Amino acid sequence: MKLATWDNGERDGRLVVISQDLRQMADAGDIAPTLQQALERSAETWPALAARYQALNENRCASAQPCDLRQLMAPLPRAWQWLDGSAFLSHSARMQQAFSLPPIAGIESIPLMYQGCGDDFLGPYAEIPYGTDEDGLDFEGEFAVIVDEVERGCTPRDALARVRLIVQLNDISMRTYAPRELQTGFGFIHAKPSSAFAPVAVTPDELGRAWIDGRVDLPLRVLRNGRLVGCLEGGEMHFNFGELIAHAAKTRRLRAGTVVGSGTVSGENAARGASCIAELRAIEMLAHGQPQTPFLQPGERVVMEARTPDDKPLFGALDQTVAAPVR
């Protein structure tokens, strides 16, 4: 099943069902006005949404209409909780080596995770806000899951069963602020502004064999101004999503609609590039002694997309341009 949020001018938009090829959509507001409400009443709403999805794909849905992806918001425009992990250890290892960072104790057994701002997710075509050249504006290609109710202290296996939807995102970062904020021990504020999401959220069955042991085993292609900068496999996650969810729920319950991110998609093969500029610069430092790739500037375009193994659309693309600086 594929779900999205149509921009009807309201803060949380209106829930719609999207056809498998992303060409048609059907209003689902009679089932649940918003995706958040659908998640909170999933036992009731999920069968009805699945039935409408089937009808839409079989061309027997009376309310079907052409789908303009530019009219869609982030699938979940705001979330009660947004937790982002760092499940690709190759990313951490490169950053540590290139920038002479101290080793993190237990990194292979305890996931890294921070709590971000979930109250203002950006849509797939929204501009990337720009401040100044000193901010070190960066993109980060990631996958994430949206969960049902998760009880405190759940096991990774039970946690994985609570995954309702999978999404793709750009975790926008301002690198200059990160070192100081990490040193405080209080987490990110300025370094992590609002993240942007691809237009469509999908249920795990839509991935077929690419949903393996709680991982999205698909390549995420990242382009900057039309040039490929990275094509990394989501299946290289060290921690799977069940482990990330269970880590988040160790001392708290997670309400339906909580979003849990994978962290920057990364891999052992540096020849395949990177999903963020910071890691690309780390690769350059290790190879040449200094970084060569600049951070983002106004007017630049960033496109990210993961497609099925037979090259069919899945989440739709994130296609963003960096905004002009605010005067």
pLDDT value at residue 178: 84
Alpha carbons within 13 A on the beta-carbon side of 150: 35
Question: Which residue matches tokens 């500037």?
Answer: 297
Task: Work out the mean pLDDT of the chain and round it to a whole number.
Answer: 95
pLDDT value at residue 104: 82
Per residue in 98-153, pLDDT tens? 877 788 888 999 999 999 989 999 999 999 999 999 999 999 999 999 999 999 99
Residues 232/206, Cβ–Cβ less than 8 Å: no
Alpha-carbon separation of residue 208 from 100, 211, 216, 226, 310 (angstroms): 41, 6, 10, 29, 12
pLDDT value at residue 186: 81
pLDDT value at residue 240: 98
Q: Is 132 left (phi over 0), alpha (psi -120 to 50) or beta?
A: beta
Per residue in 40-65, pLDDT tens? 999 999 999 999 999 999 999 999 99
pLDDT value at residue 109: 92
Query: Does residue 182 carry a pLDDT above 90?
Result: no
Structure confidence at residue 21 as a pLDDT band (50, 70, 90):
very high
Structure confidence at residue 224 as a pLDDT band (50, 70, 90):
very high
Q: Which DSSP state fits 273?
A: B
Find the range with the poorest average confidence among 29-33, 36-40, 57-61, 173-177: 173-177
Query: Does residue 66 carry a pLDDT above 80?
Result: yes
Per residue in 233-277, pLDDT tens? 999 999 999 999 999 999 999 999 999 999 999 999 999 999 999
Residue type, 74: A
pLDDT value at residue 187: 82
